[in-house]
């Protein structure tokens, strides 16, 4: 059945990684490498079953292909998941064993941090492979990508507000932010800097209390977040929260957040469009993190990263233009934008320019 699934999803390679001594059960999925080596984060999660983990990594890796394509990066899409509880199952051996599997792929997959993973975990992976991003600044890395993801999401929000309301006055509107983790909290901070009204919820009550105490947010229950009077719903946790049950409760005019796979399915995306809700496709909005870490490949530069992330505004605006032009929902417009770039680059047959430039040690000037 796995090959039938891959034929449908278009994946190139799926690697199952196991090390009994380290307690490692991981899956690496490489979706598409037409634009370049696959880049995507490593997620650690206590999946209820192996099938659930497979489904997640296949979905997330495909999303990375589209995210990297829309972001204008010369990178393909990949993703990795470790089956385990990040609160109790982490160890140096676990991540170093994972790093060895990444290294065995010889650069076809470049890893980074995602849900359940932090920069300290990446340090252990980095001991076994150079094909890792998001490492500490002392190694020439960029560190925690969360602030950059949040900054990029703000650029997407500005573009969406402009498309919906004709202005970019963030503080004029109310926001229902679901998820106050690394990215969510940074996004909340940016919203509050504009004096916006923010409702916040999270499964971690301590994070919610921090958002209340430090940023002046209004706490609501996990289920109550869908019933607020917010004009903007911002999913910043796990995906699938815009679904058949929640959509009919949302009063928002805009859906724009940093979570992956926000729409439960394509049918929900169609219904969002029919209701006149301006949905900013997640992988276009949350591309700031991957933009940032991608620069580590050639040598990290923070100023260049910030300039790159401002292109998210243009990308999201372009998606709304395509949706209006072609009369299609924005989730389809985003896919179309990504697929056109992949197809165009895939048809190129560039001349062979030789190996990377030699150092020419000892050469004298003319």
Task: Indicate the pTM of the whole model.
Answer: 0.85
DSSP state of 40: -
Closest CA to 67 of 28, 105, 39: 39
CA 283-149-190 angle, to 5 degrees, is: 120
Q: pLDDT tens track of the chain, all 366 residues?
A: 788 888 888 899 999 999 999 999 999 999 999 998 999 999 999 999 999 999 999 999 999 999 999 999 999 999 999 999 999 999 999 999 999 999 999 999 999 988 889 888 999 999 999 999 888 777 777 777 889 999 999 999 999 999 999 999 999 999 999 999 989 999 999 999 999 999 999 999 999 999 999 999 999 999 999 999 999 999 999 889 999 999 999 999 999 999 988 999 999 999 999 999 999 999 999 999 999 989 888 888 888 989 999 999 999 999 999 999 999 999 999 999 999 999 988 777 554 444 444 332 332 343
pLDDT tens-digit profile of 116-156? 898 889 999 999 999 998 887 777 777 778 899 999 999 99
Q: Known catalytic residues?
A: 79
Whose structure tokens read 């409760």?
Answer: 249
Closest CA to 160 of 318, 327, 325: 318
Residues 6+ apart with CB under 8 A from 77: 30, 31, 32, 38, 39, 40, 61, 62, 63, 64, 65, 66, 67, 68, 69
Residues 6+ apart with CB under 8 A from 33: 12, 76, 108
The end-to-end CA distance of the chain, in Å, is: 64
DSSP state of 105: T
Query: Which pair of tokens denotes residue 196?
Result: 């916006």
Tell me the three state secondary structure of residue 180. coil
Residues 6+ apart with CB under 8 A from 339: 66, 69
Which phi and psi angles does 219 have, rounded to 5°? -80, 140
């Amino acid at each position: 059945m796995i090959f039938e699934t891959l034929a449908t999803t278009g994946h190139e390679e799926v690697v199952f990684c196991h090390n009994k001594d380290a307690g490692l059960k991981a899956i690496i999925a490489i979706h598409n490498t037409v634009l370049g080596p696959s880049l995507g984060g490593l997620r650690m999660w206590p999946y209820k079953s192996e099938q659930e983990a497979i489904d997640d990594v296949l979905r997330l890796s495909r999303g990375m292909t589209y995210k990297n394509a829309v972001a204008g990066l010369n990178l393909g899409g990949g993703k990795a998941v470790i089956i385990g509880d990040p609160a109790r199952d982490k160890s140096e051996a676990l991540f170093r064993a994972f790093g060895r599997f990444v290294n065995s792929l010889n650069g076809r997959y470049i890893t980074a941090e995602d849900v359940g993973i932090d920069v300290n975990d990446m340090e252990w992976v980095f001991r076994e492979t150079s094909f890792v991003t998001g490492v500490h600044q002392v190694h020439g890395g960029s560190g925690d990508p969360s602030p950059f993801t949040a900054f990029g999401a703000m650029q997407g929000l500005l573009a969406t507000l402009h498309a919906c309301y004709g202005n970019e006055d963030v503080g004029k509107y109310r926001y229902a932010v679901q998820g106050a983790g690394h990215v969510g909290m940074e996004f909340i901070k940016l919203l509050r800097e504009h004096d916006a009204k923010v409702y916040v919820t999270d499964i971690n009550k301590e994070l919610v209390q921090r958002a209340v105490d430090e940023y002046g947010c209004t706490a609501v229950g996990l289920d109550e977040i869908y019933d607020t009077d917010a004009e903007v719903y911002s999913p910043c946790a796990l995906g699938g929260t815009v679904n058949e049950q929640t959509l009919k409760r949302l009063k928002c005019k805009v859906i724009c957040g940093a979570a992956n796979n926000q729409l439960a399915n394509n049918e929900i995306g169609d219904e969002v469009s029919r209701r006149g809700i301006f949905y900013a496709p997640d992988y276009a909005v949350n591309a700031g993190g991957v933009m940032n870490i991608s620069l580590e490949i050639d040598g990290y530069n923070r100023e260049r990263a910030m300039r790159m992330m401002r292109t998210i505004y243009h990308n999201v605006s372009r998606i709304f233009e395509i949706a209006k032009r072609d009369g299609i929902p924005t989730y389809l417009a985003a896919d179309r934008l990504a697929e056109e770039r992949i197809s165009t680059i895939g048809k190129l047959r560039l001349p062979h320019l030789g190996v990377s430039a030699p150092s020419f040690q000892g050469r004298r000037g003319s």
